[in-house]
Structure formats: structure tokens, C-alpha cells
Amino acid sequence: MYKRVTNLKELTTFDSIWMETWTEKGFEVDPYSANVIERYLIMDGHAPIGTVEFKKYTPRVGELDQIAPFYAAESIRMSPDTVVEVDKVAIRRDQRGKHIDKMMTALMLFAEQWGCRQYVSLLDPVFYRALRIVFNIRMDVVSNERPYYKGAPVVPAILHVSDVVDNKERYPWLLQTQPSATNLAM
């Protein structure tokens, strides 16, 4: 389902996938990331088909809060140590429809394993809609405006992943996972 990026070859694959996807969507590409906790390759068998990056979130520090006031949200102020920024979310164009549940499950497994209660992210509007309607993720939109970020409009959102982690039975898309070579425990 996913594989932690642990070496240069995997990082090169990771960068190739998200950069290709972001370029296709019209986003500007800036490969540097600060405060990275983990990077995952989303897998279809042994083939990498997607990416997701988890970064430490510190209120009022970094680019995210310059784009939208995440730090002002009450849920963030109450427990900032349980908030993680999600970035570089991408699935190859030819794989999107059939593998998004793998990405979503990987996101929730990370949250569970790291004690994360909320994700903050600048979401592609189409992905935001899928999270809200298809996956029923409880979210707060931080700004009514759709700021431009890296060349395209985004939805600044707080995803309450604790709701999924604490109530797995309510989320039928959540895949059952077993430890394996591609699904590495942290």
C-alpha cells in the first residue's frame, strides 16, 4: 500500500512522481521541503504510483501560515503538537481513480502511528471536494478565499483525521492493512 522513502533512489522516484503530477496540474515545482517527518510512496504492488509528504507544523512559522491563518483556528491553538502539515500529495494521472483509497489509508495510518489529530494542507479544489463528499472527512476551511499557491487556486483546510482514526468502522474506504515490506511500521 505504501513504502517509506528511505534512500536516494526512492527519493528520486518520489520527486519524479509529484513533480510530474504538479506540473500537469499547473503548479510551480519547488523540490525543497523543510521539517520533513516522513515521505511515502503509494504503491500498486511493487510499482510506485503516488506520493505524500508529512512535515512538522509550527504555528506562525513557515510558508503555510503566510498563505492562510491556520494558527488562528481554535482546534490548532488548543493542541498544536498534534498537527502535521501534509504536502506533495500526488497520484499519477493513469492511476488516480483506482488508488486514492490507498493514499487515504496511508494518511490515516500515519496519523494513528504518530498520534496526529489534525492535518493542515493547501488542497487542490477537486481533491478537497473528493475528501468532503466521497471520503466524508470532517474539515474546516481556514479561509473563504481560494488563494493562489504555486500557480493554482487552493483550499486551505484543516482535516480532522482523529475522527477517522477513532471511528474506523464509519469509513468503509479505509483499507485493512497488515505489516509487509511495502507497509513499513514507523
User: Which H/E stretch holds residue 51?
Assistant: strand 47-56
Cα–Cα dist 18/119, whole Å: 19
In a domain, 186, yes or no: no
Cell numbers found for residue 184: 513499513
- Number of structural domains in the chain: 1
- pLDDT digit string, tens, across residues 68-82: 999 999 999 999 999
In a domain, 176, yes or no: no
pTM of the model: 0.89
Cα–Cα dist 18/36, whole Å: 15
| Cβ atoms of residues 89 and 83 within 8 Å | no
The CATH number for 118's domain is 3.40.630.30
In a domain, 184, yes or no: no
In a domain, 108, yes or no: yes
Q: Residue-wise pLDDT tens for the chain (186 aa)? A: 899 999 999 999 999 999 999 888 878 887 778 889 999 999 999 999 999 999 999 999 888 999 999 999 999 999 999 999 999 999 998 888 788 889 899 999 999 999 999 999 999 898 899 999 999 999 999 988 888 888 888 999 999 999 999 999 999 888 765 433 344 433
- pLDDT digit string, tens, across residues 116-132: 999 999 998 988 999 99
